[in-house]
Copies of this chain bind each other. A is one copy, B any other.
Amino acid sequence: MSVTAAKGFQAAGIAAGIKENGNPDLALVVNRGPRQAAAGVFTSNRVKAAPVLWSEQVLKGGVVSAVVLNSGGANACTGPQGFQDTHATAEKVAEVLEGHNAGEVVVCSTGLIGVTLPMDKLLPGVEQVAAQLSEHGGEKAAIAIKTTDSVHKTAVVSKGGWTVGGMAKGAGMLAPGLATMLVVLTTDAALDSDVLDKALRDATRLTFDRVDSDGCMSTNDTVLLLASGASEVTPEYAEFAAAVREVCDDLGQQLIRDAEGASKDIKVEVVGAASEDDAVEVGRSIARNNLLKCAIHGEDPNWGRVLSAIGTTKAAFDPNQLNVAINGVWVCKNGGVGEDRELVDMRYREVHIVADLAAGAETATIWTNDLTADYVHENSAYSS
């Protein structure tokens, strides 16, 4: 289903030869209208890949007619040549699709940083992928954007007469600000780009921005939302925003479950915070603590490492009032020893940590993974 679940969209994915192993590596998503409204959110990393610099400019117009995505190379830290390559790719897409304007073509790239793209493979690939465009091409597009992903990721929500669907790639460098991934969402709702922009930002703030697998932020993150208006339905904002958030949440969960080398998915829920910012700061500090992530891997309900992580933040709390539950057992009460840690069952993949700051009523949830020898192995061997 993916990006072609909503009406008005076509997609395709092929192997253009960018990846040396011959796997699919080039995807194209086209908005056939009648509208071509769009919004996008990009990495906050100040070292941005060429396609991000290009696509940020495209989104300023609020109109996107097509998105071309390649895996097998991030086109980041590639200087003026990299930007020219991105530009040439957009021009090629506009030329092949006919009647399109390169200034309305978004380009996304993912893979190794610091290597220029093989344009002799990519440009002929654009012709090939365009020839495959179809209303059923969403799955193939989702497969073509994989890098170290073990599975392709798609999600769809359908409401009364309209649909939001999407695809995502990402298995490492998952960190906020925003999420470290490529995501394309499509909808056939009849909405303008300013509404799309608000719904997308509201959704990513609470979903992809709170997925923090390894604390590392990439140079290429892009999340797009395209609207074709083909359903001729204009939903209420709240209902539309909820659907976008639901799709983002679903895809975000799929990213966490497929994180490189992980054996546990850890839900860090901060409650009793004086402010949402405090809750997020504490959640991130816990989610990024390597010692805790190792302990969880070892199925050790090591609440002392949770307290150590909380203690490095500026959030409002009294160390003698902190409470921590791991998988439902309050192992730390009032900053000290609580219920018997032997009661904690950590056999399952999902681990739920609740940190109660006892300082207010605000909450936030951050998702992360454990730190494993497999993570080390994958990231020692794979240059990205």
Contacts and interface: CB of A to CB of B under 8 A. Distances in A.
Interface in A281-336: 288-291, 294-295, 297-298, 300, 302-305, 307-313, 317, 319-320, 322, 332, 334-336
A25 B83 CA distance: 61
Contacts of A214: 290-291
Interface residues of A, number: 66
A21 interface: no
A118 interface: no
A191 interface: no
A69 to B, nearest CB: 19
Interface string A65-81: 00000000010111100
Nearest to A172: B291
A295 B322 CA distance: 37
B288 A215 contact: yes
A216 interface: yes
A347 interface: no
A376 interface: yes
A249 B219 CA distance: 35
A319 B173 contact: no
Contacts of A379: 290-291, 294-295, 298
Interface in A24-61: 44-48
A302 B76 CA distance: 13
A205 interface: no
Interface of A: 44-48, 74, 76-79, 82, 112-116, 172-173, 177, 214-219, 288-291, 294-295, 297-298, 300, 302-305, 307-313, 317, 319-320, 322, 332, 334-337, 371-373, 375-381, 383-384
7 pairs of A and B residues whose beta carbons are closest in the complex: A113-B304, A298-B380, A47-B311, A294-B379, A373-B373, A79-B336, A45-B311
A291 B376 contact: no
Contact of A384 (B77, B290, B291): B291
B383 A373 contact: no
Contacts of A303: 77, 114
A365 B297 CA distance: 32
Given A77-B336, A373-B373, 5 more contacts: A45-B308, A113-B307, A177-B312, A300-B380, A376-B376
A376 to B, nearest CB: 5
A307 B380 contact: no
Given A291-B384, A376-B373, A304 B77 contact: yes
B295 A217 contact: no
A290 to B, nearest CB: 5
Contact of A47 (B46, B112, B288, B335): B335
Contacts of A44: 312
Contact of A335 (B77, B373, B384): B77
A312 to B, nearest CB: 5
A297 B376 contact: yes
